[in-house]
Structure 1
Amino acid sequence: MGDDNQAQRRSIFLHALRSALIDLAVLLRFFSRLPLPPLPFEDDPHGRPDFARAAPMLPLAGMILHAIGAIVLLMMLGSGLSPLIAAILAVLALTWSTGAFHEDGLADTADGIGGGGNRDDKLAIMRDSRIGTYGTVALVFSLMLRVALLASLVERSGAVAAALVLVASGGLSRVAALWLAVALAPAHSDGAAFATGAPDMRRYMLTAIIAIVLAALLVTPMLGQAPFIAGLAGNLMAGRAAAQLAKRHLGGQTGDIAGATQQAAEIAFFLAVTMLAG
């Protein structure tokens, strides 16, 4: 009887582990250009993630992607480059690895909300692949702020601390973006926001707790509690502000405004951390 129970527990554990690894792989493929091969036990390696189920793996996926930028940052600083040049190359590597996935959403959102006269016009502009003035300005300021804040944090707190903050921001900013899917219905019935689903509040809270704990373990040993708490507050406020903006202008959420929210939350986290970092 004891052997049967042990075998059953092992089977349950292996099934949960396989499900978690599949969710992580699907999320990494969805958010990046990483050439991840299909897992041996994966049925649909090219499918979109189901956030109703896969949300708890989102913080880890975001941190893995931002670890690419952190590694480049440390390598460039180790080779003797200045913090500014190292930060530029780190953000470039991160943008390349994601295929400018979130940057595209930021540009489309800025063009739609800035240039559209009503809800339908704004949504139509956001679906247009061409970039306009509002989108260009938003992209320029986003990239400049991310580079400048990363370089400033290197100068204030050192290379390792800046790299760890960069990794932490990858999980927290994506959880902030996921809040839109929880708080608002999709603005389209055929877009990515509709197809990928949304977690319920309980699962979202679990996801947020995972992201906060992982980020705290990375940031607080290097910088202390105050910068982390300030960064977390900035991250959360960016998510809530984006949800209000989406509701007011679009009557719902889209994949584009989720991407814009990730960018805003990352910047808000870095800005608050950098202001209080020693």
Structure 2
Amino acid sequence: MRGARAALAFLTRLPAGPLDSADFARAPGWFGIIGLGLGALMAGAWFAASALWPPVIAALVAVAVGLALTGGLHEDGLADSFDGLGSGRPAERALEIMRDSRIGSYGALALGLVLALRVAALTALGPMAPVALIAGQGLSRAAMTLMLRAGPYLRPKGAGTGMTGPFGARGALTLAAALALGLGLIGWAAGWGGLTGLAGLGVMVLAMRRWAMRRLGGITGDVLGAAQVLGDVGFLLGVLAWP
């Protein structure tokens, strides 16, 4: 279970105990499972808040809990990616901009719009929001694993360094289990809406990867984070799109 603990340490602010670099090599196979767990905690927050307040506040509370659990890790990657990729500068300069801890106008606009879309989508989903939270958080983090495997990873030292090699049969089975659980859950709750949700996730993740490949020639940890956030929002919007 050291790979699971490494994934927990990498994706969240939750305590995971002492780990070494070899543990992080096995972490990507557990991204989807950790995402499902994060979604479950966010869904619990949604249920608690919805007992007291209107749906929009329940959605805001759920999103805030997710940000607290992860420290805004992926959202930071989203902002950095849009600042760097949207700058129009050559690849080397764009990578430097993405390293800058300061947020620029592109990043701020992207972050604000995406968070607003997430809250609006969860509000519109109503009673289906908890299921969509669990499935979306799990599937979007499984997509991070798939993107990391597709590569190439650009930075010799970065968030994904040490995670680009094979993670073994157990990691592959764990990733498959996370995908099956996420798809089964949303299929049970939303029927064919689960497929449109998966399509929305796929479009967003592939668009993010294509943008990074065209501008940089590969991916970084920031790009992975951006793909997770956009994939989750695309999933929620896709579920909503089914009549």
Matched, 1:187 2:154: yes
- In structure 2, do the counterparts of structure 1 residues 68 and 88 end up closer, same or farther at CA, with 3 Å as the change threshold? same
2-structure distance, mates of 1:145, 1:49: 35
Post-superposition offset of 1:203: 8.1
Q: 2:10 aligns with which of 19, 24, 30?
A: 30
**Paired residue type of 2:200:** G
Matched, 1:250 2:216: yes
1-structure distance, mates of 2:151, 2:122: 32
Give the 5 Å matches for 1:42-121: 44-45=18-19, 47=21, 50-51=24-25, 53-79=26-52, 81-121=53-93
**Paired residue type of 1:253:** I
2-structure distance, mates of 1:138, 1:247: 19
Q: Identity over aligned residues, as a percent?
A: 36
In structure 2, runs of 5+ residues without a counterpart are: none
The answer to whether the 8 A contact 1:173-1:235 is kept is yes
Please list every run of at least 4 consecutive aligned residues from structure 1 whose deviation after the TM superposition is greater than 6 angstroms: 200-205
**Paired residue type of 1:50:** F
Which whole-Å deviations, capped at 9, do the CAs of 1:26-58 have from their partners, x for residues lacking one?
A: 21111111134x3xxxxx43658534x333322
2-structure distance, mates of 1:229, 1:202: 27
1-structure distance, mates of 2:64, 2:129: 16
Q: 2:198 aligns with which of 232, 235, 258?
A: 232
Q: Secondary structure, in 3 states, of the residue corresponding to 2:86?
A: helix
Q: Secondary structure, in 3 states, of the residue corresponding to 1:192?
A: coil
Aligned to 2:105: 133
**Paired residue type of 1:222:** A
The answer to whether the 8 A contact 1:176-1:238 is kept is no
Q: Secondary structure, in 3 states, of the residue corresponding to 1:194?
A: coil
2-structure distance, mates of 1:73, 1:178: 27
1-structure distance, mates of 2:35, 2:154: 25
Number of residues paired by the alignment? Answer: 243
1-structure distance, mates of 2:170, 2:205: 17
Aligned to 2:121: 149
Aligned to 1:209: 176
1-structure distance, mates of 2:66, 2:213: 30
2-structure distance, mates of 1:25, 1:204: 13
Q: TM-score, normalised by structure 2?
A: 0.92
The answer to whether the 8 A contact 2:194-2:239 is kept is yes
- In structure 2, do the counterparts of structure 1 residues 199 and 228 end up closer, same or farther at CA, with 3 Å as the change threshold? farther
- In structure 2, do the counterparts of structure 1 residues 202 and 276 end up closer, same or farther at CA, with 3 Å as the change threshold? farther
Q: 1:264 aligns with which of 209, 215, 230?
A: 230
Post-superposition offset of 1:177: 2.1
**Paired residue type of 2:211:** L
Q: CA RMSD in A?
A: 2.2
1-structure distance, mates of 2:172, 2:193: 22
Greater relative contact order (CA < 8 Å, ≥ 6 in sequence)? 2
